[in-house]
Amino acid sequence: MENHRTAQISGTGSYLPANLLTNKDLESLVETSDQWIRERTGIVERHIAAPQEATSDLAFQAARQALDAAQLSAQDLDGILVATVTPDQVMPNTACFLQSRLGCKSIMALDVSAACSGFLYALTIADQFICSGKFKHILVIGAETLSRIINPTDRQTCILFGDGAGAVVLSANTNNPSSKSAILSSSLGANGSLGDLLSLPGGGSRLPFNQDVLDQKLYFVHMKGREIFKSAVRTMSDRALECLNQAQYPLDKVDWFIMHQANLRIIEAVADHLNIPKQKILTNIDQTGNTSSASIPILFNQSIDKNLVQRGQTILMAAFGAGLTSGGILLQY
Ligand code: ACO
């Protein structure tokens, strides 16, 4: 078996559903205001999937773009990893729906469940498969239809979340061995003892669907926002620093920082904590809200399309999410 030593991003894509839900719209649905949402979160609008759109439909659009950008066909893929907490169904997994729709060979198709850190978990797993020499091309996706699991009457959560999908194709660096593009380092972690800060308690094996689950609305996300805020700043900073330490890469040499788009104030707090210049921080939270595992790959793809992120540049990504999970990846694009 060939031993591919590094993996590079060969293409990216993203998809946001057409329907927009603005802060103004939310003013008529719950007791809130455009000003409160902007000041506390930085969010102005978010995209909401149409009733007939499921997570794999969003993922499919992002995947097609990423494959085109990589100049690959679905038949070239050796595996698909879909990070999501909003699968089409509990089974089959969302990656299998996507594998069928894309027309791939009978390749590995797996969902990764690590909430908002899911994409960085999936990218790290894909990197291992490629660096070990087992696979050449893996499609890695973060895709969510969070609007399906948010209580539209809970003003603490319904203002935060949106739907979308982002994709990358990760490829073995064999065609162009002189290229320095690679995943440079990765850091993953979790603190399960804080799991109750953000959870969807109903519908699993502990609380299967019954009348009680329905009456108490336990099929929706339940969140303790203020506590998550503090932990998010600490863990994203830790993951970012760990990536830099592992790669022996100085922070001031990083070209761009892409953090999970959960709240602009969390991003700014991490930037203050690590002393990151504001102009190096990419954001789109004003237009997307929190799209969980999709947030980093959507922003990555948009920043490439805008010609901000360019080949050869270094990007540090960091995320936190329910679990509480956290992740970081340092990569050269
Ligand atoms: N509109 C108006 N007022 C509101 C709203 C709203 N939508 N929501 C809460 N308030 C009120 C509260 O009731 C409270 O009122 P009180 O002082 O009279 O009690 C006041 O605003 C302040 O509430 P806080 O919760 O302290 O507000 P905070 O500044 O912490 O902002 C927020 C809340 C935006 C949720 C913030 O804590 C946050 O972003 N936390 C992180 C959440 C997060 O990122 N979750 C996703 C994790 S990633 C994943 O895995 C999905």
The CATH number of whichever domain residue 291 belongs to comes to: 3.40.47.10
The pLDDT tens digits along the chain (333 residues) read 444 579 999 999 999 999 999 999 999 999 999 999 999 999 999 999 999 999 999 999 999 999 999 999 999 999 999 999 999 999 999 999 999 999 999 999 999 999 999 999 999 999 999 999 999 999 999 999 999 999 999 999 999 999 999 999 999 998 676 788 999 999 999 999 999 999 999 999 999 999 999 999 999 999 999 999 999 999 999 999 999 999 999 999 999 999 999 999 999 999 999 999 999 999 999 999 999 999 999 999 999 999 999 999 999 999 999 999 999 999 999
Domain check: are 135 and 81 in the same one? yes
Q: By C-alpha distance, which of 80, 64, 187 is closest to 129? A: 80
Residue 199 beta carbon below 6 angstroms from any ligand 1 atom: no
Asked if residue 166 and residue 21 are part of one domain, the reply reads yes
163, part of any domain: yes
Looking at the structure of the chain, the number of domains it has is 2
Position 331 scores a pLDDT of 98
Q: What pLDDT does 109 receive?
A: 98
In a domain, 2, yes or no: no
pLDDT at residue 2 in the model:
47
Give the pLDDT of residue 214: 95
Enumerate residues 6+ apart whose C-beta is below 8 A from 142: 82, 83, 84, 118, 119, 122, 165, 166, 167, 291, 292, 293, 294, 295, 296, 297, 298
pLDDT at 135: 96
**Closest Cα to atom 26 of ligand 1:** 226
- In DSSP terms, 290 is beta-bridged to 161
The verdict on 239 and 284 lying in the same domain is yes
Alpha carbon nearest to ligand 1 atom 47, residue: 321
Ligand 1, residues 156, 227, 320: which to mutate, most atoms within 8 A of Cβ?
A: 156
Domain boundary (154, 175, 196) is at 175
Residues 198 and 249 placed together within one structural domain of the fold: yes
My answer on whether 254 and 106 are in the same domain is no
H/E segment holding residue 99: helix 94-102
Boundary residue ending a domain (159, 175, 191): 175
Backbone torsion region of residue 221, taken as left when φ is above 0, otherwise alpha when ψ lies between -120 and 50, otherwise beta: beta
Residues forming beta bridges with residue 164, ordered by sequence position: 144
pLDDT of residue 175: 67
The last residue of a domain, from among 175, 197, 224: 175
Residue 1 placed within a domain:
no
290 is a catalytic site residue: yes
Pocket probe mutation, ligand 1, options 22, 120, 153, 229, max atoms within 8 Å of Cβ: 229
The answer on 160 and 203 residing in a single domain is no
pLDDT at 87: 98
Question: What's the pTM?
Answer: 0.96
On whether both 59 and 92 belong to a single domain, the answer is yes
How far apart CA 319 and CA 113 sit, in angstroms, is: 14
Domain limits for position 150: 7-175
Judge if the beta carbon of residue 157 lies within 6 A of ligand 1.
Answer: no
The confidence score (pLDDT) of residue 222 equals 96
